[in-house]
Copies of this chain bind each other. A is one copy, B any other.
């Protein structure tokens, strides 16, 4: 990390743009012979090399769906016809030697396309991977609704996972605090993990205050049509009255500084896909509303 300070911020503003092409042949060799076509975006400062040769049939396939270079429509077609021939092996060819490139601080890497497409994973689960991004004040009930939705989906045989902001700070993000920079990196990581889970075909529910529109918008750009913003709209006064963690009390006592909604801004979403209001009822009602949203969007079947 030390060598790349600031790069995350710079990179977060854009999107890596990579198109990789790979085939899994049936030869006796070992690694997949592949042709990788990498495209750079000027705003990223990525140093990308393009491959020029290939020795086996290679068909186009995009990176993880939801990135700017792989819109959902094309993303759904991700993977190559060659995938049906996968679970075999392909010969490593020396002339694929220039198929690596740099992304951010990571040099000499390349995208490895799985022979199992996202479509195949989604077909298996009879659902579509997606991300419900629940944003709102502390105490607005994001996590309660998220977990209630998870339970409802599970009862219906759907595969869901909740990435809860607090929970992920116990592990992946425990090195991050609550400064502006740390919050930005926290949101970026949550977005990236959610992207991986959506790519795995899971209905992924992210429950996180995420107060800054800029940070949420970056995740939206990164995830594309997989991103569904859910604004849990509960007035500060109600959240403060609830105060489930006793945090508002601590804020009023001066024990916590920079608290969202009090002395740090909360930027409400301008065009969220769903707005949940406290007045609409119990968490179970809100979870049901989200369930119906997912159903309407065709995400609960393949």
A interface list, Cβ under 8 A from B: 1-5, 7-8, 11, 16, 18, 24, 28, 30-32, 63-64, 86-90, 92, 94, 96-100, 103-112, 114-116, 120-121, 124-125, 139, 141, 143-144, 147-148, 150-152, 154-155, 157, 159-164, 166-179, 181-182, 185, 189, 192-193, 195-197, 199-202, 207, 222, 242-247, 249-250, 256, 278, 282-284, 287
The residue on B at minimum CB distance from A30 is: B141
The residue on B at minimum CB distance from A98 is: B246
Query: Can you list 28 residue pairs at the A/B interface with Cβ under 8 Å?
Result: A4-B175, A8-B174, A11-B174, A16-B171, A30-B242, A30-B244, A31-B141, A31-B144, A90-B144, A92-B139, A92-B243, A94-B243, A97-B246, A100-B246, A104-B174, A105-B175, A106-B170, A107-B177, A112-B147, A112-B166, A114-B162, A116-B151, A121-B154, A124-B159, A161-B199, A161-B200, A168-B196, A189-B189
Residue in contact with A170 in the complex, picked from B24, B103, B245, CB distance below 8 Å: B103
Contact B4 A111 (CB under 8 A): no
Contact A197 B197 (CB under 8 A): yes
Q: A31-B242, A31-B244, A32-B144 provided; 10 other pairs, C-beta below 8 A?
A: A92-B244, A99-B245, A107-B256, A114-B162, A115-B147, A120-B154, A125-B159, A159-B159, A193-B193, A196-B197
A155 proximity list for chain B (CB < 8 A): 87
Determine the distance from Cα of A247 to Cα of B147 in the docked complex, in whole angstroms.
46
A256 proximity list for chain B (CB < 8 A): 107-108
Given known A-B contacts A4-B177, A115-B150, A284-B88, A105 and B166 have beta carbons under 8 A apart: no
Contact B283 A30 (CB under 8 A): yes
Residue in contact with A157 in the complex, picked from B124, B171, B284, CB distance below 8 Å: B124
Contact A1 B89 (CB under 8 A): no
For residue A136, give the distance in angstroms from its CB to the closest CB of chain B.
12
Contact B179 A3 (CB under 8 A): yes
The residue on B at minimum CB distance from A184 is: B1
